Amino acid sequence: MASEYVGVHFESEVSLDGRALTLGGDVALLNKIILGPTYTPAPPVSATLHVIKTVINDNGGTAVPSDFTLQVTSTAVSPSSFAGSAADVDVTLDTGAYAVTEPVVPVGYTQTGSGDCSGTIAAGETKSRTITNDDVAPQLIVNKIVINDNGATKVISDFPLFINGGSVTSGVVGTTTVGLHTVSETSTSGYTSVIGGNCATDGTITLALGDVKTCTITNDDIVSVAPPAAGGGGGGSYFPSMPPLIDVF
C-alpha cells in the first residue's frame, strides 16, 4: 500500500537574529502524526568592541593610559571594567545597545570620545572606540588693588605686574604651567605693598593641573608728614622710609 505521506515537505519561517540554525532528529509517524525534525538555535553570535585609551600630556601631566578606568555597559560584557590601554582592549558583548564610559575623570584632565561611544552593535560586528584624556593647563590671575586714602593719586596701571618676570595685566586670566611660580610688581614710592590671595606673602605659588588661582597685590598710599627743618623752620611734605617691597626679581 502506497504511503499517503509520500513527498511530505517541511516549510518553516525562522528568525535567526544572529544565530545559526541546527536541524536534527528523525521523521517518524505516530497515528498519522508526523514527529520531528527538531530545530535547535545555536548560541548567539557575539560582537566585539576595541576600546582604545589615548592620553595627551602637553601641559605638564604625567598620567598614562593604565591610570584611567574604562567601563562597557551592555549584556554579557567581558571584561566590563578595565584599565585603559593605548594598544586597545578587546571587549566581547551580546548584540544590541552598548555604552563605553570613563566613570571617573581624574582631576586636571578633560575627557572626549571619538566615534560613537554609545549605540548599537550587530552580531559578529566589530567596532573601535577611543576615549581621549587631555591634561588641562593651570590658570593664574593677578589682581591689583590700589587704595588712595591719604592723598595719593596713582591708579592700577601705574603698578606693572609680573608672573615669573613676564608682564601681565590685572584681572586677566593667564594660562601657565604646572609647578612653582612667583608673582611680583615694580616697587612704587609712597605706597605699601601686600601680596595675598592664593599666593604666599613672598609672591610664590605652586600650581597643579586644572588649577585656577588668584593672587592679589594691594598697594596703600602712605600718610605724608613734614620733616623737621634746619633752624626750626618749616619744610615741605615728604614720605617716610618705605618698608621693603616683596620683589623676587
191 belongs to a structural domain? yes
Instruction: State whether 65 and 126 are in the same domain.
Output: yes
* Strand bridging mode 161-163 / 47-56: unpaired
Instruction: State whether 121 and 59 are in the same domain.
Output: yes
- Return the amino acid letter for 38: T
Q: Is the peptide bond before 79 cis (omega within 30 degrees of 0)?
A: yes
pTM equals 0.69
DSSP annotation of 78 reads B
Instruction: State whether 163 and 224 are in the same domain.
Output: yes
d(CA 209, CA 109): 8
Instruction: Decide which of 135, 158, 188 is a domain's last residue.
Output: 135
Q: pLDDT tens for residues 134-144? A: 999 999 999 99
Domain containing 131: what range? 47-135
Q: pLDDT tens for residues 145-166? A: 999 999 999 999 999 999 999 9
The number of domains in the chain is 2
Instruction: State whether 120 and 176 are in the same domain.
Output: no
Instruction: Decide which of 135, 161, 180 is a domain's last residue.
Output: 135
19 belongs to a structural domain? no
d(CA 115, CA 39): 39
pLDDT of res. 45: 82
pLDDT of res. 247: 35
146 belongs to a structural domain? yes
Instruction: State whether 159 and 130 are in the same domain.
Output: no
pLDDT of res. 39: 61
Divide the 249 residues of the chain into consecutive groups of 10 and give the mean pLDDT of each group: 48 48 53 59 82 97 97 97 97 97 94 84 95 98 97 96 98 96 95 98 98 98 73 51 40
pLDDT of res. 63: 97
